[in-house]
Structure 1
Amino acid sequence: MRAAVVRTFGGPEAVEVVETERPEPGARQVRIRVAASALNPVDAGVRAGVFGGAGKQIGLGWDIAGTVDATGVATAWSVGDEVVALDYGMVEPLGAHAEYVVVDTDAVAEAPATVDAVHAATLPLNALTAVQALDLLELTPGQSLLVTGAAGAVGGYAVQLAAHRGVTVTGLAREGDAELVRSLGAAHVTSVEAGAFDAVLDAAVLGETALAWVRDGGAYTGVIPQAQPASVRGVRTAAVEVSADGARLAELVRLVDERVLTPRVAETFALDDAAKAHARLAEGGVRGRLVLVP
C-alpha cells in the first residue's frame, strides 16, 4: 500500500509517498481502508522534527474517515462499517495518510450520515481537541469565553461547541473572518482583544498574551500539551493533550448530523500529492482543513 512518511526532517519536500506492507489488526483492533484524512499543523511539526524520531521512518496523519476492512478478535465493528477514528501517535512508522490504517477499536466511531468522508475527516483530531479543551475549562451556561484563532479548525469547532452549551462566546479573528466566526455561533468577534473573560481557549497559541484576557480566578486552556503559561492572578491554566476516545467522537458525529458542528474543507489533494498539500499548509491562510484522498 502507499503511505506518506518522512525519513529526513525538513520542509514540504521531505514528505515521501512510499510503498509498504499493509498493516494487520491485532486483538481489539480494526483495519480501516482510508477514504480521506485531514492534514493538520501537527503533521508539519512531525515533518520538521519538532517531536524527534531522527533516523527512522515516521508516518504522517491522525484523522481517519473510511471503511472497516478487517478486524481482530474482541471488536464490535464489522467489515464494511463506515467509520471515523483518531490515529493518535507522533513518531510511529505509519500514520493515517495511507491507504490503510490499524487503530484500536475504542478509538472508532460510526461515520456521520450527513456529510461525505472528506468532510468527516476533519472531525476527529480537531473536534476532539476542542471538546476536551472545553471540558478542562469547566464553564457553565452564561459564562464568557474568548476563543483565539476562532476561524481555524480547532477554534471553529470550539466556538460551535461552546455556544451549543450556552456559553457566551467571543471569537478573536482577523477582520475578514468576522462574518464566518459569527456564523459559527460567536456572540461577539474582535480582531484586537480588550477585556476580561471567565475563560480563554487559546487555539491560536498566544500564550501569556491570551492569559492576560482572563479575569482574576478564571481559566485558561491551551492546545499544545504541557505548554501552558504559568498561573497568575489565581487563573487556572492547563493545556489539552488530545486522546483517542471513540465514545466521545460518536457524540461529536451526532452533533454533525444535528447541524451543530460544521466540518469545513478548504481543498483536497491526492495522497500522491502530499508534499504539495504540506506546501499549501505552509503558505497559511487556510480556512478549513486540507484533506488527502488516497
Structure 2
Amino acid sequence: MRAVVVRSFGGSEVLRTEEVPVPPTGAGQVRIRVEAAGVNPVDAAVRTGALVEAGLAERRAVHGLGWDVAGVVEEIGAGVDGFVPGDRVIGLADRLDLPLGAYAEQIVLDAGAVAPAPTRATAAQAATLPLNGLTADQALDLAGLVEGQILLVTGAAGGVGGYAVELAVARGLRVVAVAGVDDEELVRGFGAEFFVPRDAELGSAVRELVPGGAHGAVDAAAVGTAALTAVRNGGSFVAVLGGAAPVPLRGTRVGNVWIRADGSRLAELAGLADDGRLTLRVAGTFPLAQAAAAHERLAAGGLRGRLVLLP
C-alpha cells in the first residue's frame, strides 16, 4: 500500500510517498481503509523535526504523518466489539512515535480511538473532526467553566477555535470570540455572543464587553499573555499549543491541553455534527501523492477549515 513518510526533516520536499506493508491488526485493534486524512499543523511539526527537538518524540529512521482518519473498517482484531468490516468510521492516531500515520491507504488504530462516522458527512468532512474536535472538547473540560459563565476563544475562526465556540455554546457558556474582522459573521454563526477583532488590545476590549473579564479562555491562536489579561482574577486559561501557556498571573489557573484519543466522546461529537451543532469545514482536498502541496498550502495560512488528503 502507499503511505507518506518522512526519513529526514525539512520542508515539504522531504515528504515521500512509498510502498509499505499493510500493517497487521492486533488484539483490540481495528484496521481502516483510509478514505480521508486531515492535514494539521502538528503534521508540519513532525516533518520539520520540531517535535523531536522539543523532546516530544524520539528520532527514528521513518516518521509517519497524519492524526485524523475517516474510512471503512477492513478488519477487526481479537476482542473488538462494536465494529465490523464495512463500518464507516473516524478515528485519531494520537501517538508521536509511529512509523505510519493516517497519510496512508490503510491504518491500524486501537478500537478505543475509533467511532462511527457522522452519517450526514462526506469522508473529507468527517476527517476534520477527530483531532480538532477532541482538542476543543478536552480544552473546555480543562477550563472547567459552568453554564452561564463567559469563555474567551482566540482563533475562533480556525479549526480548533470554531469547534470550541460551538461546543462551549452547547454547554451553555457565553462566548467572546476573537478572530479577523472579516470573520465576525462566521463566528457569530457558530454562536458567539461577543466579538473582538484579533488586532485589538484584548484585555481592554474584552473587559469593555464583559466587566471584570471572562471567566476563562481557550487560547487556540497561541496569543498567550495578551489573552490572559482578558481573564478575570482566579479564572482559568487553557493553551492549545504545547509550551504556549503563560505565567499564571492574578491567581489564574493555567494549563495546556494535551490531546488524547477518546472513541466514546468522538462518537458523541459525531452525533452533534449530524444534529447540525458542529460545523465540519473542508478548506480543500488533495490526492495522497500531493501531500507536499497540501503542506505548502497549510503554511501559506488563511484557511477556514482543514485541508484533507484523499487516498
The answer, yes or no, to whether TM exceeds 0.5 is yes
User: What TM-score do you get using the length of structure 1 for normalisation?
Assistant: 0.98
AA aligned to 1:158 is: A
Structure 2: which 5+ runs fail to align?
53-57, 208-212
AA aligned to 1:25 is: T
Aligned counterpart in structure 2 of residue 73 of structure 1, from 78, 83, 87 = 78
In structure 2, the partner of 1:113 is 119
Quick one: distance in 2 between partners of 1:36 and 1:158?
23
In structure 2, the partner of 1:205 is 222
In structure 1, the partner of 2:24 is 24
* Identity among equivalent pairs (%): 52
AA aligned to 2:78 is: V
Quick one: distance in 1 between partners of 2:140 and 2:214?
14
Task: Give the C-alpha shift of residue 56 in structure 1.
Answer: 1.3
| Conservation of the 8 A alpha-carbon contact between 2:27 and 2:79 | yes
Quick one: distance in 2 between partners of 1:127 and 1:263?
10
1:156 and 2:162 aligned: yes
2:16 alignment partner, SS class:
strand
AA aligned to 2:292 is: A
AA aligned to 1:72 is: G
AA aligned to 1:71 is: I
Per-residue deviation, residues 14-62 of structure 1 (Å, max 9, x unmatched): 1111110010110000100000011000001111101114451100000
1:248 alignment partner, SS class:
helix
AA aligned to 1:139 is: L
Runs of 4+ in 1 over 2 A off after TM superposition: 224-227
| Conservation of the 8 A alpha-carbon contact between 2:222 and 2:244 | no
Quick one: distance in 1 between partners of 2:224 and 2:50?
19
1:279 and 2:279 aligned: no
| Conservation of the 8 A alpha-carbon contact between 2:216 and 2:237 | yes
Quick one: distance in 1 between partners of 2:112 and 2:301?
34
In structure 2, the partner of 1:141 is 147
Q: Aligned Cα RMSD in Å?
A: 1.0
In structure 1, the partner of 2:307 is 290
AA aligned to 1:48 is: T
Task: Give the C-alpha shift of residue 206 in structure 1.
Answer: 1.2
Task: Give the C-alpha shift of residue 227 in structure 1.
Answer: 4.0
1:241 and 2:258 aligned: yes
Task: Give the C-alpha shift of residue 91 in structure 1.
Answer: 2.8
| Conservation of the 8 A alpha-carbon contact between 1:8 and 1:54 | no
Task: Give the C-alpha shift of residue 208 in structure 1.
Answer: 1.5
User: What TM-score do you get using the length of structure 2 for normalisation?
Assistant: 0.93
1:51 alignment partner, SS class:
helix
161-170 or 123-132: bigger deviation: 161-170
Q: How does 1:263-274 map to 2 (within 5 A)?
A: 263-274=280-291
Per-residue deviation, residues 80-100 of structure 1 (Å, max 9, x unmatched): 111000011213100011000
Structure 1: which 5+ runs fail to align?
none
Q: How does 1:172-187 map to 2 (within 5 A)?
A: 172-187=178-193
Question: How many aligned positions are there?
Answer: 294
Task: Give the C-alpha shift of residue 74 in structure 1.
Answer: 0.3
In structure 1, the partner of 2:10 is 10
Task: Give the C-alpha shift of residue 223 in structure 1.
Answer: 0.9
Aligned counterpart in structure 2 of residue 127 of structure 1, from 127, 133, 154 = 133
